[in-house]
Chain A
Amino acid sequence: MRTRITRGYRRAVASLAVLGLVAAMAACGSSDDEAGGSSGAITAEGTDDGAELTLWTRAPLELQAKALVDAYNKTHKNQVKLTIVPNDDYVAKVGAAAGSGDLPDLFAADIVYVPNWTKAGLFSDMTERIGKLPYADKINQGHVKAGTYEGKEYVLPFVLDLSVIFWNKKLYKEAGLDPEKGPTTLDEFKSQALAVQKLNKPDTYGTYFGGNCGGCNVFTWFPMVWASGEEVMDAEGTKALLDGPAAQKVYSTWRDLQTAGAVHPGSKDETGATWVAAFQEGKIGVMPYPATLLKTAAKTVDVGVTPIPGVSGGQSTFVGGDGIGISKDSKKADQAWNFLSWLTSEDAQVGVLAANDSSVARSDLADNQYSSKDPRVAMINKVAGEPASKTPYAVNFQQAYNAPGSPWVTLLRNQVYGDAGALAADNSAVTGVLGQ
């Protein structure tokens, strides 16, 4: 009896093992056969043959993603099926899909995570395809560089999100400031915020920042350092340079504003969920702000817009937003490329993105029929092409800066609220994570 059971058990286990091996070999075979999903010669336009493509993006880009997909689906045989994923769930969803080989044909990623995701091999190589675009060198180079790994290009800009300074013209007028002139240096930023604070209006403050939000201050403080002619990291993204003279001036400016009571008290708890709300309610004089929200903020506030200044002038912006690529699992690379090729065309950049008040991702299209109507939009497009405007590159960016409780959050909180003398140690802690 025991022998029979043992024999049966062994046979079952052996059968399962063989089945598993066969399945694994089949999986390997299929991925080899379909590598890249290319069906012939690579062209600049790709293939538009009525294929159904899947596209994932995160919720903050819903407006632009829907507009782009609707416009593409109306004018092409290929049809893109869009999936919007809540921001906080996006990394987990992409990770799970990557592990099981179920990534969609196309997916967007926060541009600061792109180096990590390209290194992990989630995207297909698009070097040759991008090279065939006649305007390849006009595409925002910050995004292209973030999507370049070991000399191969994997990602194109999907939607740009730039950081700029917004000010409330009504409060500026009341404070005796020139409502048409925003700050051009860090000291001017401080003095203008203090002037609004001196109005002593209930619930109204000089400025606001994400005091417990790493991503908010990467987005708004890094450009202050870049505009001053300094760097925040080395070129490899493995060493933090957050203790330079310009960075120290940025921290001391915010600390002075905090000490003077000119920073909204909500800033100290701010994890990023509501960091733009107070300005939109007309309670803030001047603050760094996401340019994509100009249309929304302008509904309730008379908004002035200027580039982020450095210590003694200069202009910069954080070229953020999302990059997009063809996934490693796509079997329709030529069709997916057709969408990406169209995405970088004038039809999409001007006809869809600029028409919806979003920044264009091509320098040759910065001046267009929509931006010319609003000088603020033209200014936002222009600053994206400034030499000091950048997309920072680091494989461990999320862990070092954006994650809750990251060493960068510790650094910035120490500089504004705590022990400012801990800068060298805090900077080393960021380097420690970047270099892991």
Chain B
Amino acid sequence: MAPATTLTKPPEGATAPPGTPRNRKKRGGQALTGWAYAAPTALFVLIFFVAPILLVGQMSVSDWGLFAGNRGVNAPENFTDVLDDRLFWPAVWFTVKYTVVTTVILLGLALGLAMLVQEANRWTGFLRTSFLVPSALGLASASLLFYALYSPQSTPLEFLGIDSFLGTPNAALWSTVALIVWRFAGFYMLLLLVGLQGISGDVYEAARLDGANRWQTFRYVTIPLLKSSLALCAILCVTGSMLAFDQFYILTKGGPDNSTLTIVQLVYNFAFFGQNNLGKAAALSVLVLGALLVVNLIQFRGLREKES
């Protein structure tokens, strides 16, 4: 038996076993090529994702005025000031309420629309296009459009018999939800439609043979097989709603009486409207980032468990 340390010459043309100098050199070259390919993207990520997050992190612990610049460390005061702000908890509560309302309505409606246009007939093309068209409009433009529709100056929606679309907390919330549903329902419909069309007809055939009625087919076949698409829509919708800004900035500016103030608008107010305090705004941004991470992690975990 040859000792374990004995080196035997490999046959001509054979691949060098792991650990040999020739192999190390080759692997080094491969790694370098890999890094070269990845470098532009890595650099991009570093400049546009990692660096801003680090800067926000630094800002969040600094006494950083919009006009005055960085005046040194101010932690944990930035965070305690945010938590003590009279508008912080109302903004958190409103953002959560808005997120729940929007997500439930949007997903329900989008699923209904997707099922409505799932089967091809002479109206399908027209309906699919009609539902999707609002998604082509920018959110700010759509908000301005609705601002004009809701405006008592022009009262184009007077026939609905509503006195004020934005003048009371409830009216302002539901008017904004209506805008968002109009703007995004078609987009989520499209995502769910792709999911629906990915379900094989054989499964429905089998369900029919087993005697399942329409509701049972929907409940026990469609929904379970659509879970991935639904989860994707839910993640997008929750994330978008938690970061809501444009629509409220244009329609209500957080009013009336701060009743529609979202967390991101509060960030904006800290930074540019009155307080000019970038440190405090960054501290709230870090808290929002943390909350989003937690919510998304929970959603992803739920998705994985369901998939398994």
Please report A residues at the B interface, Cβ cutoff 8 Å: 91-92, 94-95, 98-99, 116-117, 120-122, 211-212, 264-266, 268-269, 271, 273-274, 277-278, 281, 396, 398-400, 402-406, 409-410, 413, 418
Interfacial chain B residues near A120, Cβ < 8 Å: 65, 67-68
- Flag B130-174 by CB within 8 Å of A: 1 or 0 each: 000000000000000001001111000000000111110000000
| Contact present for B253 and A92 (CB under 8 Å) | no
Interface CB pairs A-B, < 8 A, 22: A94-B67, A95-B276, A98-B66, A98-B69, A121-B68, A122-B67, A211-B167, A212-B167, A268-B167, A269-B255, A273-B147, A274-B153, A281-B153, A398-B273, A398-B276, A404-B253, A404-B255, A404-B269, A405-B254, A405-B255, A406-B274, A410-B258
- Alpha-carbon separation in the docked complex, A264 to B69 (Å): 44
Interfacial chain A residues near B274, Cβ < 8 Å: 396, 398-400, 402-403, 406
Q: Does B256 contact A (CB under 8 A)?
A: yes
Also in contact, A265 and B276, with CB within 8 A (given A212-B255, A271-B255, A277-B153): no
Chain B residue at minimal CB-CB distance from A272: B253
Q: Does B237 contact A (CB under 8 A)?
A: no
- Alpha-carbon separation in the docked complex, A404 to B261 (Å): 9
Interface centre among B150, B163, B255 (most CB of A within 10 A): B255
| Contact present for B257 and A269 (CB under 8 Å) | no
Chain A residue at minimal CB-CB distance from B158: A203
| Contact present for B257 and A410 (CB under 8 Å) | yes
Interfacial chain A residues near B303, Cβ < 8 Å: none
Chain B residue at minimal CB-CB distance from A274: B153
- Flag B253-267 by CB within 8 Å of A: 1 or 0 each: 111111001000000
> In the complex, what's the smallest C-beta–C-beta distance from A267 to chain B, in angstroms?
8
Interfacial chain A residues near B273, Cβ < 8 Å: 91, 398-399, 402-404
> In the complex, what's the smallest C-beta–C-beta distance from B154 to chain A, in angstroms?
9
- Alpha-carbon separation in the docked complex, A95 to B268 (Å): 13
| Contact present for B256 and A269 (CB under 8 Å) | yes
- Alpha-carbon separation in the docked complex, A406 to B274 (Å): 9
| Contact present for A268 and B164 (CB under 8 Å) | yes
- Alpha-carbon separation in the docked complex, A281 to B153 (Å): 9
| Contact present for B256 and A212 (CB under 8 Å) | yes
> In the complex, what's the smallest C-beta–C-beta distance from A426 to chain B, in angstroms?
11
Q: Does B102 contact A (CB under 8 A)?
A: no
| Contact present for B67 and A413 (CB under 8 Å) | no
| Contact present for A117 and B255 (CB under 8 Å) | no
Q: How large is the interface on B (under 10, 10 to 19, 20 to 34, 35 or more residues)?
A: 20 to 34
Please report B residues at the A interface, Cβ cutoff 8 Å: 65-69, 87, 147, 150-153, 163-167, 252-258, 261, 269, 271-276
> In the complex, what's the smallest C-beta–C-beta distance from A28 to chain B, in angstroms?
13
| Contact present for A117 and B67 (CB under 8 Å) | yes
Interfacial chain B residues near A212, Cβ < 8 Å: 167, 253, 255-256
Chain B residue at minimal CB-CB distance from A265: B152
> In the complex, what's the smallest C-beta–C-beta distance from A220 to chain B, in angstroms?
18
| Contact present for A116 and B276 (CB under 8 Å) | yes
| Contact present for A269 and B269 (CB under 8 Å) | no
| Contact present for A269 and B164 (CB under 8 Å) | yes
- Alpha-carbon separation in the docked complex, A181 to B307 (Å): 77
| Contact present for A266 and B153 (CB under 8 Å) | yes
| Contact present for B272 and A405 (CB under 8 Å) | no
Interfacial chain A residues near B257, Cβ < 8 Å: 405, 409-410, 413, 418
Interfacial chain B residues near A403, Cβ < 8 Å: 269, 273-274
> In the complex, what's the smallest C-beta–C-beta distance from B139 to chain A, in angstroms?
16
Interfacial chain B residues near A265, Cβ < 8 Å: 152, 163-164, 167
- Alpha-carbon separation in the docked complex, A409 to B256 (Å): 9
| Contact present for A269 and B276 (CB under 8 Å) | no
| Contact present for A91 and B276 (CB under 8 Å) | yes
- Alpha-carbon separation in the docked complex, A413 to B153 (Å): 20
Chain A residue at minimal CB-CB distance from B147: A273
Interfacial chain B residues near A405, Cβ < 8 Å: 87, 253-255, 257-258, 261, 269
Interfacial chain B residues near A121, Cβ < 8 Å: 67-68
Interfacial chain A residues near B67, Cβ < 8 Å: 94-95, 98-99, 116-117, 120-122
Also in contact, A95 and B256, with CB within 8 A (given A265-B163, A278-B153): no
> In the complex, what's the smallest C-beta–C-beta distance from B86 to chain A, in angstroms?
8
Interfacial chain A residues near B254, Cβ < 8 Å: 404-405
> In the complex, what's the smallest C-beta–C-beta distance from B301 to chain A, in angstroms?
36
Interfacial chain A residues near B167, Cβ < 8 Å: 211-212, 265, 268-269
| Contact present for B275 and A269 (CB under 8 Å) | no
- Alpha-carbon separation in the docked complex, A292 to B254 (Å): 29
Interfacial chain A residues near B69, Cβ < 8 Å: 98-99
| Contact present for A99 and B269 (CB under 8 Å) | no
> In the complex, what's the smallest C-beta–C-beta distance from A228 to chain B, in angstroms?
28
| Contact present for A91 and B65 (CB under 8 Å) | no
Q: Lowest 7 A-B CB distances belong to which pairs?
A: A399-B274, A266-B152, A120-B67, A95-B66, A403-B274, A404-B253, A268-B167
The residue from B153, B165, B272 contacting A91, defined by CB atoms under 8 A apart: B272
- Alpha-carbon separation in the docked complex, A56 to B125 (Å): 50
Besides A212-B167, A277-B153, 12 more A-B contacts (Cβ < 8 Å) are: A94-B67, A98-B66, A99-B69, A121-B68, A212-B253, A265-B152, A269-B150, A398-B273, A398-B276, A399-B273, A404-B255, A405-B261
> In the complex, what's the smallest C-beta–C-beta distance from A254 to chain B, in angstroms?
16
- Alpha-carbon separation in the docked complex, A398 to B66 (Å): 14
> In the complex, what's the smallest C-beta–C-beta distance from A435 to chain B, in angstroms?
14
- Alpha-carbon separation in the docked complex, A403 to B249 (Å): 12
> In the complex, what's the smallest C-beta–C-beta distance from B22 to chain A, in angstroms?
19
- Alpha-carbon separation in the docked complex, A405 to B94 (Å): 14
| Contact present for A266 and B258 (CB under 8 Å) | no
Chain B residue at minimal CB-CB distance from A90: B272
- Alpha-carbon separation in the docked complex, A107 to B277 (Å): 21
Interfacial chain B residues near A277, Cβ < 8 Å: 153
> In the complex, what's the smallest C-beta–C-beta distance from B280 to chain A, in angstroms?
12
Chain B residue at minimal CB-CB distance from A404: B253
| Contact present for A92 and B87 (CB under 8 Å) | no
> In the complex, what's the smallest C-beta–C-beta distance from B187 to chain A, in angstroms?
27
- Alpha-carbon separation in the docked complex, A195 to B254 (Å): 35
The residue from B152, B258, B261 contacting A269, defined by CB atoms under 8 A apart: B152
Chain B residue at minimal CB-CB distance from A433: B274
Chain A residue at minimal CB-CB distance from B68: A120
| Contact present for A268 and B256 (CB under 8 Å) | yes
| Contact present for B272 and A274 (CB under 8 Å) | no
> In the complex, what's the smallest C-beta–C-beta distance from B263 to chain A, in angstroms?
14
- Alpha-carbon separation in the docked complex, A233 to B167 (Å): 29
| Contact present for B271 and A92 (CB under 8 Å) | yes
- Alpha-carbon separation in the docked complex, A266 to B147 (Å): 12
Interfacial chain B residues near A409, Cβ < 8 Å: 255, 257
| Contact present for B165 and A399 (CB under 8 Å) | no
Also in contact, A95 and B272, with CB within 8 A (given A274-B151, A404-B254, A413-B257): yes
